[in-house]
């Protein structure tokens, strides 16, 4: 089945660039992402870590503010987090396109 979706230009350019570098098609990446999303949402999330104990909260009370953001079924891999931060910083540091659309 064919589907049309709107993707922000900056995200599309980044995805297209990365797929080209990795020798993948945009279609294969999208299918992989959809399959992973369906797999993770169809099963019950299982946490590999236990909730914070009162002792942990007593020694590190700042941990309590992180709990709303933790998702047991998602990875909290520091490499992925660093990569996301780096992409965000790069996007913010890029000068905006103030020249309008390219002229033919």
Give residue-wise pLDDT tens across range 64-94: 777 666 666 566 567 777 777 788 777 777 7
Rg of the chain in Å (alpha carbons)? 19
Determine the Cα angle at 21 with ends 95 and 6, to 5°: 60
Helix segments in the chain, DSSP class H: 9-22, 26-42, 54-59, 78-93
How do residues 15-52 score in pLDDT, each as one tens digit?
999 999 989 999 999 999 988 888 875 544 444 455 66
| Residues in contact with 74: Cβ distance below 8 Å, sequence separation at least 6, in sequence order | 40
Q: Is-above-0.75 flag for pTM?
A: no
Q: Which of 81, 59, 54, 79 is nearest to 70 (CA)?
A: 81
Query: 29 with 11: CB under 8 angstroms?
Result: no
Helix, strand, or coil (residue 53): coil
pLDDT attached to residue 23? 92
């Amino acid at each position: 089945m064919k589907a049309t979706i709107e993707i922000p230009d900056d995200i599309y350019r980044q995805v297209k660039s990365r797929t080209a570098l990795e020798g993948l098609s945009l279609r294969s990446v999208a299918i992989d992402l959809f399959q992973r999303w369906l797999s993770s949402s169809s099963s019950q999330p299982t946490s590999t870590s236990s909730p914070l104990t009162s002792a942990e909260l007593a020694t590190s009370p700042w941990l309590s503010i992180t709990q709303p953001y933790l998702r047991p079924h998602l990875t909290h891999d520091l490499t992925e987090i660093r990569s996301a931060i780096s992409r965000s910083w790069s996007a913010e540091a890029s000068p905006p396109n103030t020249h309008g659309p390219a002229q033919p």
